[in-house]
């Protein structure tokens, strides 16, 4: 018998229409999910200067001591420009032999852009006159010796002041005062105890200085090399296409189609 005789077929029409609507909605949602992820993948994202934990709040610790020469200014400017374009949120600590908080944590990344101009050579407008870096606000009254521990200690204090998931980014040539190294080692040990991640953007450091920091920070704190603007990839890139999500969506649609093809159709006739 291919059909079930029923006396009240009208009562089944509403459940059938409801079931059909649910099936169509499931397919539509699956397709919408695939399209949404495909479109989001086409949007430009920003290459991180250094890898950061997900949903973290970064605090930038910027070295403006006397050891930072004009040779490394462009590296600082390039690094700050990339951070400013990241659409994230940052705090900013500036240090020499002492440190102060220039921007509180959670400040929009675009607020780093005004600092970039101090580290970028302006275009040459007149022949015979080489452009020079603009006078920065730290050169005359703040720039002195290098105590990296001062900047890192202040950043740790700020991070422990209620910042959610803090991570500290040190931008420096790593040329610390030898007398400051014991205190720096103590401060970095406190970072490990407080489980605050540290990332380093090194500004053309000497091999000895880089080796020292690699030893103090350990293998879980990568040291990136701050490069010149013409030596880095473009900040905006295209995110990789989410093939895994597309495959999952297609698999869901295929399973639904297979179920519909395998399940015997229910038919009826008037009694």
pLDDT in tens, 166-198: 999 999 999 999 999 999 999 999 999 999 999
Does the pLDDT at position 37 exceed 50? yes
| C-beta separation of 106 from 126 below 8 A | no
Does the pLDDT at position 226 exceed 60? yes
Is pLDDT larger for residue 237 or for residue 65? 65
Neighbour count for residue 161 (Cβ, 10 Å) = 10
Residue 179 tokens, joined: 């007398």
> Where do the H-state alpha helices sit in 137-180?
148-159
State mean pLDDT over 234-254: 58
Concatenated DSSP letters of 172-237: E-----GGGHHHHHHHHHHHHHHT--EEEEESS--HHHHHHHHHHH-TTS-EEEP--GGGS--SEE
Q: What is the pLDDT of residue 267?
A: 58
Neighbour count for residue 24 (Cβ, 10 Å) = 10
Q: What is the pLDDT of residue 151?
A: 95
Residue 52 tokens, joined: 């950061």
Q: How far is CA 54 from the centre of its chain?
A: 7
Does the pLDDT at position 84 exceed 70? yes
Does the pLDDT at position 223 exceed 50? yes
What CA–CA distance (Å, rounded) separates 213 from 205? Answer: 10
Q: What is the pLDDT of residue 262?
A: 59
Q: What is the pLDDT of residue 49?
A: 65
| C-beta separation of 152 from 181 below 8 A | no
Q: What is the mean pLDDT of the chain?
A: 78
- Whole-prediction pTM: 0.66
Nearest 5°: phi and psi at 170? -90, 125
Q: What is the pLDDT of residue 131?
A: 73
| C-beta separation of 167 from 56 below 8 A | yes
- In this structure, of 72-81, 104-113, 216-225, the range with the lowest mean pLDDT score is 216-225
């Amino acid at each position: 018998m291919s059909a079930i005789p029923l006396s009240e077929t009208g009562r089944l029409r509403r459940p059938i229409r409801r079931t059909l609507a649910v099936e169509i909605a499931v397919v539509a949602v699956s397709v919408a999910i695939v399209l949404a992820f495909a479109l989001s993948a086409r949007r430009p994202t920003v290459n991180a200067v250094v890898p950061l934990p997900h949903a973290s709040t970064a605090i930038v610790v910027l070295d403006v001591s006397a050891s930072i020469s004009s040779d490394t200014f462009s590296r600082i400017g390039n690094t700050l420009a990339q951070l400013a374009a990241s659409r994230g949120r940052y705090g900013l600590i500036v240090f020499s032999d002492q440190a102060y908080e220039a921007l509180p944590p959670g400040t929009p990344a675009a607020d780093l852009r005004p600092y970039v101009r101090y580290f970028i050579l302006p275009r040459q407008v007149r022949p015979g006159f080489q452009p020079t870096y603009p006078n920065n606000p730290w050169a005359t009254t703040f720039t002195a010796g290098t105590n990296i521990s001062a900047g890192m200690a202040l950043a740790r204090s700020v991070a422990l002041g209620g910042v959610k998931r803090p991570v500290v980014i040190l931008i420096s040539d790593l040329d610390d005062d030898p007398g400051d190294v014991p205190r720096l080692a103590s401060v970095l040990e406190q970072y490990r105890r407080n489980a605050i991640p540290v990332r380093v953007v090194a500004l053309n450091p000497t091999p000895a200085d880089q080796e020292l920091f690699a030893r103090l920070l350990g293998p879980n704190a990568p040291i990136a090399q701050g490069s010149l603007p013409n030596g880095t990839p473009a900040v905006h890139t295209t995110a990789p296409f989410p093939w895994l999500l597309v495959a999952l969506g297609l698999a869901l649609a295929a399973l639904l189609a297979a179920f519909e093809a395998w399940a015997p159709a229910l038919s009826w006739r008037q009694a």
